[in-house]
Amino acid sequence: MKIVIYGASGHGKVVADVVSAMAEMELVGFVDDYVVKRRKSVGRFPVLGGEEALSEILRKGIEGAVVAIGRNDVRLKKADMLERMGFKLVTAIHPSAVLAGDVQIGDGTVIMAGVVVNASARIGCHVILNTSATVDHDCILEDGCHLSPGVHLAGHVSIGKGSHVGIGTCVIQNVTIGEWSIVGAGAVVIRNVASGKTVVGNPARELCKHA
């Protein structure tokens, strides 16, 4: 399948590497509203234009797309736009990732090199499992969440829609992290995190807001 990547940042470069490693995918180029104003290519792939170029890309028979935007809310909005236009949001999985046979993965999710997902885990749509993250048995990751590089989830962890778990974080078993929450880099999460909260530290605690 011929595909485009929406987003040509550093994250987009990594997604391009994942897609290029998949035999069934042919990456045609990037779409990016800002990069196109500064340069014509990213690595060996062209920047085809911004959002205004999408209709023409679709008319040329390029129907596959991946959204490579790290910010979770923007990624979900762009994915929704592409789907409404008629693009198929594809799942990109690096060949070095190790996935149990019964893992469920939604459309538009990207799984980077070195990721391990164990038995009966359920991964939603437009999720990012970044480099060397591990997801143990029976975890549930809702749409649009992002596990940064080196995150480790024990069994039966639930991550809510749109939440971001920072690099190097560890989450013990049976913990729930609510929707649109942020877990700071290197945190150790040993208790539930309510929706919309930011937690940091070891053990992870809610970040206090000062006047």
Q: Is 50 exceeded by the pLDDT of residue 7? A: yes
Average pLDDT, the chain: 94
Residue in 11, 126, 137, 164 annotated catalytic: 137
SS3 content of the chain, % helix, strand, coil (to 5): 20, 30, 55
Distances (CA, A) of 129 to 113, 150, 174: 9, 9, 19
Taking only the tens place, the pLDDT of each residue in 53-75 is 999 999 999 999 999 999 999 99
Lowest mean pLDDT across 18-32, 105-119, 177-191: 18-32
Lowest mean pLDDT across 36-40, 43-47, 68-72, 156-160: 36-40
Q: Is 90 exceeded by the pLDDT of residue 35? A: no
Instruction: Please confirm, yes or no, whether 11 is among the known catalytic residues.
Output: no
Taking only the tens place, the pLDDT of each residue in 97-152 is 999 999 999 999 999 999 999 999 999 999 999 999 999 999 999 999 999 999 99
Domain ranges of the chain: 2-90, 91-199
pLDDT of residue 72: 97
Q: Which CATH architecture fits 2-90? A: 3-Layer(aba) Sandwich (3.40)
Fold annotation for 91-199: UDP N-Acetylglucosamine Acyltransferase; domain 1 (2.160.10)
